[in-house]
Amino acid sequence: MSFYLKPPRGQINFHQLEECARQRLMCYDKICNNDTLLEISSFECLVEDSSLDRTGHFIFRLSAYFNSRFREVFLQNEAKLLLLRLNCYKEADLKYFLKKILRQIKDILEENEADDKILEVCIWFFKICQQMLKKEYLAYIFNESHKADINNNYILKVPFHVCPSLIRNRETGKTYFLSIYDSYLKLALDAMKYSRNVENTLYDDRIIDILKFIKSHYFKKIFLTLTLTLNLT
C-alpha cells in the first residue's frame, strides 16, 4: 500500500515517463470496468510503491492540479486503486506497510517542509497507524464479523476537520485509510499552488506533452462514450 507521501527520486527518461502515464490510464480504464487486481498488477509501472508506480501517481497528481476536470477523476480512481490493494492484503502485508508509512511520516515531520494542514493529517495518521499495529486491532480489521457489531474499543477518534468524510458513519479499519487518503490528496493538491517546482514544470516540454497525452486520452474516451450514448437514443 502506498499513500504516495513522498515523490520518487532519481532520473527517468521520457519513454519511461510516457509508459507510466499510459499504463496508469489503462489501470483507470480497468477500474472503471471492474476488472480484477490480478490484471492491474500485471502492469510493470503499477508494481505497488515502486519508483515507476510513484512516478505515475505524481504525474497524474500534477495533471489533476492543472486540470480541474481531471481532479475528481484522479481522486476517485486513486481511492479505488488503494481499496483494491487493501482488499488483497493479508495481516502480515498490512503490518509491513503500516510500518513503512510510519517511517515516511517520520521523515516528513523531521523535514518540516510540508504545508501545516498536511502535517496535521500526517500526525493523526501516524497515531492511527500506531493504533492499528496493535495485534488485537489487526485481528479486528480482518474479522468480517465486526461489520455487524462495532466495538467501541476499536473506534479511532479523528478530528472532523482532518477527515470530514468520517463524520457520516462510525467506521473502522479500511474506511479510515480511504478517508484519510482522500483528505491527504485534496490537501496535497491545494498545497501545490505554493510550490515553485510545480510552476517550473510549465517550462518543461516533456512534462507538458505527458499532461496533454493524459488529457487527450481520458477526455477523448468520455467524448466517444457520450457520442455512442446519443447515437443509441
Q: In this structure, are 179 and 214 located in the same domain?
A: no
CA distances, 197 to each of 70, 193, 200, 202 (Å): 20, 10, 5, 9
Note whether 75 and 64 are within 8 A (CB): yes
DSSP 8-state symbol, 204:
-
Q: What is the pLDDT of residue 217?
A: 85
Q: What is the pLDDT of residue 133?
A: 86
Q: In this structure, are 61 and 94 located in the same domain?
A: no
On whether residue 139 sits in a domain, the answer given is: yes
Q: In this structure, are 78 and 99 located in the same domain?
A: no
CA distance 27 to 36: 10
Q: In this structure, are 102 and 36 located in the same domain?
A: no
Q: What is the pLDDT of residue 208?
A: 92
Q: What is the pLDDT of residue 153?
A: 57
Q: Which regions of the chain are under pLDDT 70?
A: 1, 35-38, 139-173, 221-233
CA distance 222 to 25: 13
Q: In this structure, are 71 and 94 located in the same domain?
A: no
Q: What is the pLDDT of residue 226?
A: 42
Q: In this structure, are 81 and 20 located in the same domain?
A: yes
Model confidence, pTM = 0.83
**Number of compact structural domains in the chain:** 2
Rounded to the nearest 5 percent, the helix, strand and coil shares of the chain are: 75, 0, 25
User: CA nearest 41: which of 94, 89, 8?
Assistant: 89
SS3 150: coil
Q: In this structure, are 17 and 73 located in the same domain?
A: yes
On whether residue 4 sits in a domain, the answer given is: no
Domain extent for 216: 11-88+196-233
On whether residue 43 sits in a domain, the answer given is: yes
Q: What is the pLDDT of residue 221?
A: 61
Note whether 172 and 141 are within 8 A (CB): yes
- Convert the pLDDT of each residue in 106-116 to its tens digit: 999 998 888 88
